[in-house]
Amino acid sequence: MVTADRGLFAALSRVCPDVREATEDDAITGVIPSWTAAPATAAEAAALMRLAAHHDLAVTARGAGTKLDWGNPPRRADLLVDLGNLDGILEHQAGDLVVRVQPGVRLDPLARILAEQGQQLALDDPVGGATVGGTISTAVCGPRRLRYGAPRDLLIGVTTVLADGTITRSGGKVIKNVAGYDLGKLFTGAFGTLGLVVEAVFRLHPLPAACAWLILNPADRATAVSAMRTLLHSQAAPSAIEWDSAQGPPEVAALFEGGAAESRAAALRRSLGDGRTSDRPPPWWGTHPDGTLIEVRFPVGRFSEVLGEIDEAARDHAVAARTRGGFGLLHVGVSEDPADAPDTAAFIMRIRGNLAALGGVVIVRRAAGAVRDRVDVWGPGGAVRLMRRVKERFDPQGLLSPGRLVGGV
């Protein structure tokens, strides 16, 4: 450690006792920061940010680190702020269906605590082990988005530490609230490039009295897609409808929740003339396929065309593509063998190009350097110019995970 660094280390430990030199385990998409600090309070997090701004240190935030390999490697990373110690459930007003939590709270234990009161935070955790903060920052969602929406739909209030250390709040603790800008929206999907989320308030839902899955094994893709459409447009109100081809022949499953869940599922089974009902999901439900992971987002009505494009591109580029997901959101798993990287990259560029015409967006989530070197993981993005301007206003020094997000933001 050079002298200047030693001085910085001392300064960091003064504002946050739990600071250490970073190791390989702290790497952000391969970039190892100099230090890792785990603030015990929001005030410590704010002091760290002030110090980082003063010394021009680039900061990346981490929750459980389950998606730290998503996005671009940051252009610079000096300090990793580990929010795992901020793991308190601050307030759960069951009667108001609201919970206020710190970012390091993991979804799993939170679900268990909320379930004691017959409630749930209706967010899926496809990677497993995720924190609340990481779920907000990556805007990750799963099967139940169909009924409950994405993290941005359930987040009703947020407290953040900005790049200069200012602690600010927007939204509130009530579900219905239109006072001021909803900055929580900006922070969902921001990958920590605007500030640290140090507190979040979520809308909760009652746990459904019963859950039932209708599981279908259609003969071919056309039958599968047609069944999924029937499910989507049915008045039996499924909470989720998913497709999986990662295990081999396509399987379709739909979740029914609440009153008469099983008989609603059974009624659809009869009208579709196929399948079985179960009180358990199929094993692949709510997970991502293995291997290099590609996320495909598209307008609901384009499901069949999107599957067709993926299949065709996979054939042309000799890629074994395993798809899993549903209307509007599919994940594709392909080989992670470095030797296949050129084919994988060609496949990604092909579907990205062709799906754009259908309003689709292709994002590379988990991939080795050999793939990343060949394709931009984010693609072109949408209103990137506006995003850059927002970034400049919130982080004028460009210290927060610089370059990790789309468009070099």
Residues in 109-168 that interact with other proteins by CB under 8 A: 118, 139, 149, 152-153, 160, 162, 166-168
For the segment 68-87, give every residue that binds other proteins (CB under 8 A): 72-73
Q: Which of 322, 165, 343 is nearest to 249 (CA)?
A: 322
Q: Report the alpha-carbon distance of residue 146 to residue 21 in Å, rounded.
A: 43
For 198-230, give one letter per residue: b (16+ CB within 10 A) or e.
Answer: bbbbbbbbebbeebbbbbbebeebebbbebbbe
206 vs 282 by CB, closer to other proteins = 206
Q: Report the alpha-carbon distance of residue 103 to residue 156 in Å, rounded.
A: 14
- Give the binding range for other proteins (CB under 8 A) out of 14-22, 81-89, 105-113, 188-196: 188-196
Give the three-state DSSP class for 213: strand
Phi, then psi, of 208 in degrees rounded to 5: -65, 145
Q: Which of 13, 41, 217, 397 binds other proteins (CB under 8 A)?
A: 397
For the segment 289-308, give every residue that binds other proteins (CB under 8 A): 297-302
Token duo for residue 309: 């494009």
23 vs 93 by CB, closer to other proteins = 93
Q: Which of 60, 188, 245, 277 binds other proteins (CB under 8 A)?
A: 188
Q: According to the binding rule CB under 8 A, does residue 354 interact with other proteins? A: no
Q: How far is the CB of 76 from other proteins (least distance, A)?
A: 13
**Chain centre distance of CA 92:** 24
Q: According to the binding rule CB under 8 A, does residue 403 interact with other proteins? A: yes
Tell me, what amino acid is at 35? W
Q: According to the binding rule CB under 8 A, does residue 173 interact with other proteins? A: yes
- Give the binding range for other proteins (CB under 8 A) out of 36-44, 282-290, 345-353, 393-401: 393-401
For the segment 217-246, give every residue that binds other proteins (CB under 8 A): 229, 232-237
Tell me what percent of the chain is helix, strand and coil, each rounded to the nearest 5: 35, 25, 40
Q: Which of 27, 349, 361, 368 binds other proteins (CB under 8 A)?
A: 361
For the segment 243-272, give every residue that binds other proteins (CB under 8 A): 258-260, 263-264
In 210-291 the beta strands, taken as DSSP E runs, fall at 211-216, 240-244, 251-257, 276-278
Q: Which of 174, 219, 318, 357 binds other proteins (CB under 8 A)?
A: 174
